[in-house]
């Protein structure tokens, strides 16, 4: 199997807040990330696809096609948006880096896996929130 990764970036704001908990609890648990006036990040998303190269093209997936899918399904919907308020597929999700990875994975999965007749599989979504913080969702790996 060959793993192919495409990187993209977007800027967005969010607030880590659990509406089922008190303001005091949210402030204690999330600290400055619970700012009621939001805060922002310059996110980097990495999408990894796995499969066998197609015999006619040598591609697991055409990187131009992968770029377009990421743009349509994530970047166009999230860039310069408030992730809590403006992105419908994130409704009801606390937009932590971990939860965003998962949501982005399932937003991308079907389109990527139908992008080529050699059956590429979405392997993982990694999201870098800051220079020092990132998360990766790989549902097919067992711990």
Distance CA 50, CA 29 (A): 37
Distance CA 35, CA 133 (A): 19
Distance of CA 15 to the CA centre of its chain: 16
Distance CA 19, CA 99 (A): 16
Q: Which of 39, 80, 86, 114 is catalytic?
A: 80
Distance CA 113, CA 24 (A): 43
| C-alpha atoms less than 13 angstroms from C-alpha of 10 in its C-beta half-sphere | 22
Q: Determine whether 80 is an active site residue.
A: yes
Q: Determine whether 129 is an active site residue.
A: yes
Q: Which of 33, 46, 98, 138 is catalytic?
A: 33
Asked if residue 135 lies in contact with residue 126, where contact means CB atoms within 8 angstroms, the answer is yes
Q: Which of 14, 17, 101, 129 is catalytic?
A: 129
Listing DSSP states for 58-96 in one string gives: --SS-HHHHHHHHIIIIIHHHTTEETTTS-GGGTT----
* Catalytic residue ranges: 33, 80, 129
């Amino acid at each position: 199997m060959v793993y192919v990764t495409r990187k993209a970036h977007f800027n967005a704001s969010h607030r880590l807040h659990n509406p089922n908990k008190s303001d005091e609890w949210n402030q204690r648990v999330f600290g400055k990330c619970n700012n009621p006036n939001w805060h922002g990040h310059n996110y980097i998303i990495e999408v990894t696809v796995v499969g066998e190269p197609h015999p006619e093209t040598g591609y697991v997936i055409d990187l131009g096609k992968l770029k377009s899918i990421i743009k349509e399904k994530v970047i166009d919907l999230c860039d310069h948006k408030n992730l809590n308020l403006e992105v419908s597929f994130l409704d009801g999700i606390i937009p932590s880096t971990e939860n965003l990875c998962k949501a982005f994975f399932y937003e991308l999965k079907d389109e990527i896996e139908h992008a080529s007749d050699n059956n590429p599989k979405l392997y993982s979504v990694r999201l870098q929130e800051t220079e020092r913080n990132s998360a990766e969702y790989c549902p097919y790996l067992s711990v």
